[in-house]
C-alpha cells in the first residue's frame, strides 16, 4: 500500500507541481488519460469498427465534403503557423536555444494558447482516416497512417502540459507549414481529374515531410552539446526521438511507394504475368508441344480457360492496387 501511495503521490507531484499552471485547467490538460483513450478509440474505429460498419454499404461520395474539409485545414494550419511566428519564431525566439516563458505576458500566453490549438488540431486530423473508411479506401489506412495520427495527440499533450512554447515549439512551427501544403494538395486532388493532372508534385510531399523530420532532429539534438538556456533536455530528446522514428517510417514508405516504381515497366509486367499464370514458362512450352488437340482446346499454357480468366482479373486487380499511393502521412 505504501508503494501505491508513493507512486500516486509522485504522479500528483508531476501533474500538479511540475507542470505549467497556466494550462492545467484547459480542456483535456488535467490528465493524459482522456487523450490516450480518445487515441485508442480512434485506432479501434479505423481498424475494426469502421470497416465492419461499411462492410455491406456502398462507398460514400464525399468530393464536396473533402474539398471543404481540406480547405478548412489549410486555413487552420495557416493560422497556427502565423501564431507561432507572431508569438516568437519570427520575432525574438532563438534557433540555438529557447527557454519557455512561463509568465502571464500577452506574448507568452499567445504562444501557450497556440500550442494548445496545435494539440487540438491533432484530433481534427482523425477525419482524414474517417473519410478513407467512409469511402472504403482501406488501402490508404496503412500502419504508418494510423500510427502517425494515433500517437500525435498524446505526444503533443506532454508539451502543452509542461513546455507550451520555447525550444520544443519549433516542431509545431514546421509541422503546420507542411500541413498547409499537404492539405492544399488534398483539396486540389478532391476537385477531380481536371485538376489532378497538374499534381505531378505528389511524391515531393513525402520528401518535404522527411526534410521536416531531419530539421526537427537537428534542432532538438543540438541541446545534447549546448543547452545554454536550460531548456528541459528530456523534452528535446523526446521530440528528437519522435522525429527520428517518423523519418524512418516515412523513408520506408517513400522507398516502397516510389523507388520500387523505377524498375523497367516490361520487367514488372512480365513478373506479374508469370505470377498469375498468364506467361508460359519453358516447362509449360514443352507440355504444350506434346499435348493433344483436344487438350489444347481446353488448355492454354497449362491452364484452363477459366483459370486464365481468373488470372487476368487478379492481374488487373493487382496492377491497379499496386499503383495506389498514400502520401504521407500521412496526412502528418
Name the grid cell of 182: 499537404
Name the grid cell of 76: 487552420
Active-site option among 92, 145, 148, 242: 148
Where is 304: in which H helix or E strand? strand 303-304
User: Any bridge partners for residue 299, and if so which?
Assistant: 304
To the nearest 5 percent, what fractions of the chain are helix, strand and coil? 70, 0, 25
What does residue 33 show for φ and ψ, rounded to 5 degrees?
Answer: -65, -40
Name the grid cell of 75: 486555413
DSSP state of 16: I
Name the grid cell of 241: 526521438
| Residue recorded with cell 515549439 | 169
What is the C-alpha separation between 21 and 154, in angstroms, rounded?
19
Orientation angle between helical segments 33-44 and 143-162, nearest 10 degrees? 170
What is the C-alpha separation between 114 and 120, in angstroms, rounded?
10
| Residue recorded with cell 497538374 | 198
Alpha helices in 45-105 (DSSP H): 50-53, 63-84
Contact criterion met (CB below 8 Å) for 275 and 311: no
Cβ-based burial of 218 (10 A; exposed 0-12, middle 13-18, buried ≥19): exposed
The yes-or-no answer on residue 148 being catalytic is yes
Residues taking part in catalysis: 148
Amino acid at each position: 500500500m505504501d508503494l501505491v501511495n508513493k507512486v500516486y503521490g509522485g504522479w500528483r507531484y508531476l501533474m500538479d507541481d511540475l507542470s505549467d499552471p497556466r494550462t492545467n485547467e484547459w480542456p483535456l490538460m488535467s490528465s493524459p488519460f482522456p487523450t490516450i483513450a480518445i487515441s485508442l478509440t480512434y485506432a479501434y474505429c479505423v481498424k475494426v469498427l469502421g470497416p465492419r460498419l461499411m462492410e455491406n454499404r456502398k462507398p460514400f461520395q464525399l468530393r464536396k465534403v473533402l474539398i471543404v474539409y481540406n480547405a478548412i485545414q489549410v486555413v487552420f494550419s495557416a493560422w497556427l503557423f502565423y501564431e507561432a511566428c507572431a508569438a516568437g519564431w519570427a520575432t525574438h525566439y532563438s534557433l540555438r536555444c529557447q527557454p519557455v516563458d512561463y509568465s502571464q505576458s500577452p506574448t507568452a500566453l499567445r504562444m501557450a494558447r497556440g500550442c494548445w490549438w496545435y494539440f487540438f488540431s491533432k484530433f481534427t486530423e482523425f477525419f482524414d482516416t474517417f473519410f478513407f473508411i467512409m469511402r472504403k479506401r482501406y488501402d490508404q489506412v496503412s500502419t504508418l497512417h494510423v500510427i502517425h495520427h494515433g500517437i500525435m495527440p498524446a505526444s503533443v499533450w506532454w508539451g502543452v502540459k509542461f513546455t507550451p512554447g520555447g525550444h520544443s515549439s519549433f516542431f509545431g512551427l514546421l509541422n503546420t507549414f507542411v500541413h498547409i501544403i499537404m492539405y492544399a494538395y488534398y483539396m486540389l486532388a478532391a476537385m477531380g481529374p481536371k485538376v489532378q493532372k497538374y499534381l505531378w508534385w505528389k511524391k515531393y510531399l513525402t520528401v518535404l515531410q522527411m526534410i521536416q523530420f531531419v530539421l526537427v532532429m537537428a534542432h532538438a539534438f543540438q541541446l545534447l552539446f549546448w543547452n545554454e538556456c536550460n531548456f528541459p533536455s528530456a523534452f528535446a530528446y523526446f521530440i528528437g526521438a519522435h522525429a527520428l522514428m517518423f523519418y524512418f517510417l516515412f523513408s520506408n514508405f517513400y522507398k516502397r511507394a516510389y523507388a520500387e516504381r523505377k524498375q523497367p515497366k516490361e520487367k514488372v509486367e512480365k513478373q506479374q504475368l508469370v505470377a498469375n499464370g498468364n506467361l508460359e514458362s519453358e516447362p509449360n512450352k514443352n507440355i504444350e508441344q506434346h499435348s493433344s488437340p483436344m487438350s489444347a482446346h481446353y488448355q492454354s499454357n497449362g491452364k484452363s480457360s477459366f483459370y486464365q480468366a481468373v488470372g487476368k482479373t487478379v492481374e488487373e486487380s493487382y496492377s491497379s492496387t499496386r499503383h495506389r499511393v498514400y502520401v504521407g502521412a500521412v496526412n502528418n
